[in-house]
Chain A
Amino acid sequence: MTYIAKPKLQHPDLPKNKLGYTHRDYEGAISTLCAGCGHDSISAAIMQACFELDLPPHRIAKISGIGCSSKTPTYFLGNSHGFNSVHGRMPSVLTGANLANRDLIYIGVSGDGDSASIGLGQFAHILRRGVNMVYIVENNGVYGLTKGQFSATADPGSKDKRGNASHDDSIDMVALALQLGASYVARGFSGDKDQLVPLIKGAILHRGASFLDIISPCVAFNNHSGSTKSYDFVREHNDAVNRLDVILPRDPITAELKAGEVEDIKQHDGSVLRLRKLDEDYDPHDRIHAMHYLERHKAAGEIVTGLLYVDREPEDLHARLRTVESAMNTLGEKELCPGAKALEAINAGLR
């Protein structure tokens, strides 16, 4: 998994999770992205989320498309299988993988070029199919690997490094995800790890199509003034509607809670998503309300972040297809092949 070996030495007092793993067990190869790249913070947040959720790394599959963001799965979870597939086509590969083995956790990593342009179709259809996954778009508004062209999420009027303004309308991935049926929709910022890690954890625990739009500034091509995806701009315009905490079944519940301030959403595995409201008006279970709110605040130049929508009773692709509980890739001749006798009956019906 790594091609640059990291030192094996580790501090004996490194904290371990329930599985006995340290943080190091969730790492991948050393990143080859630019120093300060937002994507590396997202990789770190993914590692932290998996560590804190006590997930065995090998039971996670990382699937990506093509681009800077899609390179990142090499840089986290080195003991997980990864698949750097085709530009814009991560969703179909992930869908197939998920059908083959419903027991793994699927993290799909994509970028704004990968998902909002070449892969917009696949982005749309994986959400409407309800594939159980965490779909992350590391959104920086530019094509990094090809050196700074605008992507489809670049806001109209925002400027590239040479000072040219984007004249096309921008695609809001969160608005699309809400419309297309994602059952967990969040927006985070790579510069706010405290907010981001619980959002990723919540997405992993959610059994349905989770979508995370993570604003992730490109330090090489889109971190200047005039950009709406720079660290400074996002910090100044960040409107967080809520704060999420993820409480695992083993965690003691400590704080006394006042009704109305927080909401506990129980997950399938017994864990709880605890949502603390920052905006009194925001209802994360009302898809239409969320869409209105987002549009209103977008018009006011704000970037709405937080857990924007969550369906308390999500349904995933396997439920819709009514597939068996066992992973498809564990089924053999006994379960799959109807045998010679059944074939004779079929032959008899064809005469």
Chain B
Amino acid sequence: MAQERINDFVIKFANVNGSGSASANQLFAKAILRMGVPVSPRNIFPSNIQGLPTWYEVRVSGDSYLGARGGVDLMVAMNPQTWDKDLASIDPGGYLFYDSTRPMPPARFRDDVHVIGMPLTEICNREYTDARQRQLFKNIIYVGALSALLEIELAELEKLIGEQFRGKDMLIAPNLHALRLGRDYAARHLDCPISLKVRRASAVGERVFMDGNSAAALGAVYGGATVCAWYPITPSSSMAEAFARHCKKLRVDKEAGLNRYGVVQAEDELASIGIVIGAGWNGARAFTCTSGPGISLMQEFIGLAYFAEIPAVIFDIQRAGPSTGMPTRTQQCDVLACAYASHGDTKHVLLFPEDPKECFDFAAQAFDLADRLQTPVFVMSDLDIGMNERLCDPLAWDDSRRYDRGKVMTHDELESGREFGRYLDVDGDGIPYRTWPGTHPTRGAFFTRGTSRDAYARYTEEGVPYTENMQRLLRKFETAKQYLPKPEFRKAVQPSRIGAIFYGSTSPAMDEALDRLEEKGVRLDTLRIRAFPFHDEVDDFISNHDQLFVVEQNRDGQLRTLLVNECEVDPAKLIPVLHFDGTPITARFIIREIAESLAALNIQPIKKSA
């Protein structure tokens, strides 16, 4: 018997897409969570609806390490197609759980892996006659068996089944039956428990378990978005769908049965952003959600919104590119495409949420920022946080909070004779006043255009007003910093001359890496960047350190490029740590890369071995 591993292991389910495994796997993860033990599950899925392999990986971590870990301790191998690969991915000493209905030659197994066979198909065929039932309940049966093997409390699973099928009560009993069928079989015939165990703890606390796209959609509801225009694209579609779902519950005038929102599934991404810009121009809060290819299609409009100064919120749920890239795999690869989106001289505000909580917070804040700054604001999420459920702090809202609609001149202000120039910088912060269409019968109307104009929105091709306007846009960009979420500084236990910069979904892997590196005596100060344009703190952090690692999930070190460019840093000072194979970055990867670099640089405590 291997050494006991309590609340610290990775289990991976290898399934076939469309076989109904997702809800069973989710049930498994949530039961562990209900036992007070943190989990972080990840769907690894193909661009396919039915038939191709799909995996669901659950990291169980009593220490709350929520990043992907790498390696597998228990493989639930339900897909013959991927058998060899799945078997190979198990860490030595780990477990293989498989359907033993059809005998497998010994050569198909590994000596260094514990094998647990259970005749799942046989049990199902005996129990059920309907083909679909056989398939669906097979999933619940293996969850039942796993609960015995890992000592997951049956009561939690039963409670969850009751919750899941509330309102469809007919389904509760058969699911409970299947669950017990699996559990009883395992208890009777398998060697239970195994060395991997789940033990009740209180490490979850008040935290909630949700995906970033749902959280961002909820943030849009709380932030006052009334118009959503979108075009289906993985991994962002679930955000628009979640917005519609939340709105159905939270945004309906119950008496009249009428909606305080409008969702348009547009014909393409060009129309999506056009609708958002039209709505923003007319004083509604509007957003679109998309991924890299959609950002590419929106370029012309983004430039217009930047130059004509129209609020817009764009959620980019990033996936691996270029072109169609790996549409169901994660990356942070649109940083530059968004920061400098469109033709001409442009720069845009970016926000980098690290988890669903920040997806919610930044989504709501993005609408204030877009209105305040009268410009497009990008929320740079990604597939890893967007489409996976993640444990995070509970969402919070302060009821005294008011929407910041920015500098909008009212009818009364115009009536009182206040001067209005659409592009006039009266406050010196680069932000002019605007009027919404229909405000005043004779004052405040102006013509919005993508062509150059003077401070009063009058068409001109003169060089001076053009350059003055472009300079003002830079002043406005500078002003933006004061409204943006500041970077998060984490100081090493002892003063350090080396540091690391990271952002977005890299957080959990980075936190874990820092703990492990600290154990090895490696001291790293870190800065988590949460917004672009960069605050002065970023410049300070860079100048206060001799060497900095920039950890990101793309090939070209896009944030590093942005830092070099915007903070005018010597590139030699910034060492890229780049993970871009489409899987989420892991602590193991970060530790290895940083340790190797430090050894190469001959920095204490890790020195070159020879």
Does A82 contact B447, Cβ atoms closer than 8 Å? yes
Does A331 contact B283, Cβ atoms closer than 8 Å? no
Contacts of B257 in A (CB 8 A): 322
Task: Given A329-B284, A338-B221, verify A104-B229 contact (CB < 8 Å).
Answer: no
8 Å CB interface, B78-115 against A:
none
Asked if A255 is at the interface (CB within 8 A of a chain B CB), the reply is no
CB distance from B228 to the nearest CB of A (A): 10
Q: Fill in one digit per residue for A86-123: 1 if any B CB lies within 8 Å of its CB, else 0.
A: 10010111111111110110000000000000000110
Task: Given A78-B445, A321-B259, A350-B210, verify A93-B278 contact (CB < 8 Å).
Answer: yes
CB distance from A348 to the nearest CB of B (A): 9
Task: Given A97-B281, A104-B438, verify A324-B253 contact (CB < 8 Å).
Answer: yes
Contacts of A351 in B (CB 8 A): 33, 204, 207-209
Does B226 contact A96, Cβ atoms closer than 8 Å? no
Asked if B167 is at the interface (CB within 8 A of a chain A CB), the reply is no
- In the bound complex, what is the Cα–Cα distance between A175 and B498 (angstroms)? 69
Does B274 contact A92, Cβ atoms closer than 8 Å? yes
Task: Given A85-B450, A101-B437, A332-B403, verify A342-B274 contact (CB < 8 Å).
Answer: no
Asked if B258 is at the interface (CB within 8 A of a chain A CB), the reply is yes
- In the bound complex, what is the Cα–Cα distance between A61 and B281 (angstroms)? 11
Q: Fill in one digit per residue for A310-342: 1 if any B CB lies within 8 Å of its CB, else 0.
A: 000000011001111100110111011111101
Task: Given A96-B282, A331-B260, A336-B226, verify A125-B267 contact (CB < 8 Å).
Answer: yes
Does B266 contact A125, Cβ atoms closer than 8 Å? yes
Asked if B510 is at the interface (CB within 8 A of a chain A CB), the reply is no
- In the bound complex, what is the Cα–Cα distance between A1 and B209 (angstroms)? 53
CB distance from A65 to the nearest CB of B (A): 10
Does B267 contact A121, Cβ atoms closer than 8 Å? yes
- In the bound complex, what is the Cα–Cα distance between A346 and B396 (angstroms)? 10
Asked if B550 is at the interface (CB within 8 A of a chain A CB), the reply is no
Asked if B218 is at the interface (CB within 8 A of a chain A CB), the reply is yes
- In the bound complex, what is the Cα–Cα distance between A104 and B279 (angstroms)? 13
Find the A residue at minimum CB distance from B439: A58
Q: Fill in one digit per residue for B546-565: 1 if any A CB lies within 8 Å of its CB, else 0.
A: 00000000000000000000
15 intermolecular pairs with C-beta atoms under 8 Å apart: A1-B445, A61-B437, A79-B442, A83-B447, A85-B450, A96-B284, A99-B278, A121-B268, A328-B227, A331-B226, A336-B226, A338-B221, A340-B398, A343-B397, A351-B209
Find the A residue at minimum CB distance from B276: A96
CB distance from B342 to the nearest CB of A (A): 11
Q: Fill in one digit per residue for A55-93: 1 if any B CB lies within 8 Å of its CB, else 0.
A: 011110101000000000110001111111110010111
- In the bound complex, what is the Cα–Cα distance between A351 and B275 (angstroms)? 36
- In the bound complex, what is the Cα–Cα distance between A245 and B229 (angstroms)? 38
Contacts of B268 in A (CB 8 A): 121
Q: Fill in one digit per residue for A28-50: 1 if any B CB lies within 8 Å of its CB, else 0.
A: 00000000000000000000000
Does A321 contact B442, Cβ atoms closer than 8 Å? no
Q: A96-B284, A329-B436, A336-B224 are in contact. List 10 more A-B contacts (CB 8 A).
A: A79-B441, A81-B447, A82-B446, A95-B274, A95-B278, A97-B279, A121-B267, A329-B226, A331-B260, A351-B208
